[in-house]
Amino acid sequence: MPAEAEGPNAPQAAYWNGPMTRAWARLHDRIDTRFAPILDLLLDHAAPQAGERVLDIGCGSGTSVLALAGQVGPTGRVLGVDIAEESVAVAARRIAAAGLSQAEVVLADAATYPFPPASFDLLVSRFGVMFFLDPVAAFAQIRSALKPGARVVLAAFRSAAENHWTTGAAAAVRDLIPSPPPPGPEEPGQFAFADPARVERILYGAGLQEVRLTAEDPLLRLGADAAEAADFAMTVGQVSRALHEAPESRREAVRAGITTFFRAHQGAGGVVMPAAIWLVTARA
Ligand SMILES: C[S@@+](CC[C@H](N)C(=O)[O-])C[C@H]1O[C@@H](n2cnc3c(N)ncnc32)[C@H](O)[C@@H]1O
């Protein structure tokens, strides 16, 4: 376990270093394939320039770090930060294999890591900033690492109700595997940035400026067919988390239930459903 096991985000450190989230490290290929349209949106909004210094919060297995490093080139720099040991190890291996000396990842809680002050031109995150216990304090400390006027571009999920691709699948098998109660509106979690007023309060409260939220609904191809989409849902997201609490004997019934759910969304191009996200932009 990382040292962050003792810090302010200790429960999240335990969660992101535990069995429910291992897929983000071990099966990142599957996630990356499906979430590629979200990374594209993030990079379009961020428009990284050659030579820029970029900070990637909650970088996971490093897919965005690699993409950013390619865009800033050898004269730039990308620092990825993540609290999950296994994901950081995967990211470090991928960076080394790609020979990208301008990229680096550290295992740390972004809310407390001693970043060099005023050193980054751009802050990005794909789904890595919704998990701080005290988000205003976390963003205030992250902001201190940004140069004045630096760009901030974050992808975060909108509400659970709008993200039917994952919550609909969980609802379809609720009788078999009840989902744990959702976190409260001020608690960390997948949908903690759903409320735009809360996001503005956090980011302005942390000293950022020009906060804008743009709703985007990128289409995710969840599988070539319903069976493949169900397999993915059992790996990542609401269903997979609920499965951890359920007896092994329920797995096949759950698989059948979510396969039926996804069959209703299957078309000629496979199972394609929109994700509801905010593209959040701001300036330091
Ligand atoms: C939903 S995953 C997204 C991973 C990656 N950005 C991607 O899109 O594939 C959220 C990530 O945020 C990381 N995370 C959560 N709390 C964090 C914190 N306080 N500091 C750094 N990383 C954190 C988790 O370990 C996890 O890798």
Can you tell me which atom of ligand 1 is nearest the CA of 63? 9
Share of the chain above pLDDT 70, in %: 98
Q: Is residue 264 part of a domain?
A: no
CA–CA dist 150, 199 (Å, integer): 18
Q: Is residue 249 part of a domain?
A: no
Q: Is residue 90 part of a domain?
A: yes
Confidence of residue 6 (pLDDT cuts 50, 70, 90): confident
Cβ of residue 105 lying under 6 Å from some atom of ligand 1: no
Share of the chain above pLDDT 90, in %: 84
Alpha-carbon separation of residue 82 from 25, 62, 156, 165, 220 (angstroms):
11, 9, 16, 26, 24
Can you tell me which atom of ligand 1 is nearest the CA of 59? 6
Q: Is residue 210 part of a domain?
A: yes
Is 270 in a helix, a strand, or coil?
Answer: strand
Predicted local confidence at residue 20, as pLDDT: 85
Determine contact, residues 71/48, Cβ cutoff 8 Å.
Answer: yes
Predicted local confidence at residue 8, as pLDDT: 82
pLDDT tens, residue by residue, 97-133: 999 999 999 999 999 999 999 999 999 999 999 999 9
Residue 3 has pLDDT above 70, yes or no: no
Q: Is residue 235 part of a domain?
A: no
Q: Is residue 39 part of a domain?
A: yes
Confidence of residue 1 (pLDDT cuts 50, 70, 90): very low
Q: What is the mean pLDDT of residues 72-91?
A: 97
* Residue (of 166, 146, 88) closest to 284 by Cα position: 146
Cβ of residue 48 lying under 6 Å from some atom of ligand 1: no
Q: Write out the residue range of the structural domain in which residue 72 sits.
A: 3-160+184-219+274-283
Q: Is residue 69 part of a domain?
A: yes
Please state, rounded to an integer, the average pLDDT across all residues of the chain.
94
Q: DSSP string covering 167-205, please? A: HHHHHHTTTTSPPPPPPPTTS-STTTT--HHHHHHHHHH
Residue 188 has pLDDT above 90, yes or no: yes
Predicted local confidence at residue 237, as pLDDT: 84
Query: 106 pairs with which residues across the strands?
Result: 81
Residue 5 has pLDDT above 80, yes or no: no
Confidence of residue 241 (pLDDT cuts 50, 70, 90): confident
- Give the type of residue at 92: A
Instruction: Tell me the two tokens of residue 118.
Output: 């005023």
Rounded distance from Cα 131 to ligand 1 centre (Å): 8
> 80 or 249, which is more confident?
80
Cβ of residue 16 lying under 6 Å from some atom of ligand 1: yes
pLDDT tens, residue by residue, 211-235: 999 999 999 999 999 999 999 999 8
Rounded distance from Cα 269 to ligand 1 centre (Å): 30
pLDDT tens, residue by residue, 137-165: 999 999 999 999 999 999 999 999 999 99
- CATH assignment of the domain containing 45: 3.40.50.150
Q: Is residue 24 part of a domain?
A: yes
- The number of folded domains in the chain is 1
